[in-house]
Amino acid sequence: MIAANVDTALIVTSCNADFSPERLERYLSVVMEANIAPVLVLTKVDLSADATEYAASLAQRFPDIPRLSINALDAEDVATLSPWCGAGQTIALLGSSGVGKSTLVNSLLGGEVQVTAAIREEDGKGRHTTTNRSLHRLPEGGVILDSPGMRELQLAEAEDGLDQLFADVDALTSMCRFNDCSHSAEPGCAVVRALQSGELDEQRLLSYQALKAEEMRNRESLAARHSRERAFGKKVRNAGKNKHRGRDVEQ
């Protein structure tokens, strides 16, 4: 849980070692599960000699998701975010440390509101300069939530989000002859047929299968933990009741 009543999530990544389509898939699945509109924001295009390759990778991997490539320090570039900044709109910034989330906030607000720091040159990783969530009112009337960078994002209870993100793969799986098709060697497998024809990219299928398996494992673990917590709570309540009954008998 990061925030409530969010309209748009700006999922920020940058043109350096932080760039990871696989991590973006995780963010998108969680955001779409919460019925929040996602926007992919590629930053630090001014510092990269091959920014167009990063942008092309996003376009190929996420053709249906709105995407922006910006220099977070350039007022004209940052102004392209204005459609999501109007009155009544709430924006949440998501992404790793050092991708430029706080720089974006400062540029949108027109001042040094959030502390920023340079990334480590040796690996392109950012430092945790933002240590807690903060909400800021934008000049256009909306509000923006800046949050600390996330080192890791595990999927749990995001099945619908995954199905939305991989709607093409999900549609193919429903066309297989067998409900429990593993999409490997079964006859009548629509997924294998799509792979062979070039309709479906193998890497996309592998990402879908890996995230689905992880989400299912984590969801089952979460359900088991909730069950244990409920059982423990019931045990505590029963112990309290028995204690009171014992006092009543003594009286």
pLDDT tens for 127-177 read 545 557 788 999 999 999 987 766 566 666 778 989 999 999 999 999 999
Give span(s): CATH 1.10.40.50, the chain: 159-250
Round to whole Å and give the CA distance between 127 and 121: 11
Q: What is the pLDDT of residue 156?
A: 67
Q: What is the pLDDT of residue 41?
A: 96
Residue 29 C-beta-side C-alpha neighbours within 13 Å: 25
Q: What is the pLDDT of residue 232?
A: 66
Q: Which of the listed CATH numbers 3.30.9.10, 3.40.430.10, 3.40.50.300, 3.90.650.10 matches domain 8-146?
A: 3.40.50.300
What is the phi/psi pair of residue 41, to 5°? -120, 115
Residue 12's H or E segment, with its range, is strand 8-14
Lowest mean pLDDT among 8-22, 113-127, 171-185, 196-210: 113-127
pLDDT in tens, 18-60: 899 999 999 999 999 999 999 999 999 999 888 999 999 999 9
Give me 39's structure tokens. Answer: 């926007």
Residue in 186, 184, 187, 180 with CA at minimum distance from that of residue 195:
184
Give the pLDDT band of residue 84 (cuts 50, 70, 90). Answer: very high
Q: What is the pLDDT of residue 217?
A: 84
Give span(s): CATH 3.40.50.300, the chain: 8-146
Q: Given a cut of 90, is residue 10 above it in pLDDT?
A: yes
Which carries the bigger pLDDT value, residue 4 or residue 124?
Answer: 4
Round to whole Å and give the CA distance between 47 and 34: 33
CA distances from 103 to 44, 109, 194 (A): 11, 10, 43
Round to whole Å and give the CA distance between 140 and 175: 47
Beta bridge partners of 137: 143
Q: What is the pLDDT of residue 230?
A: 72
159-250, CATH topology level: Ribonucleotide Reductase Protein R1; domain 1 (1.10.40)
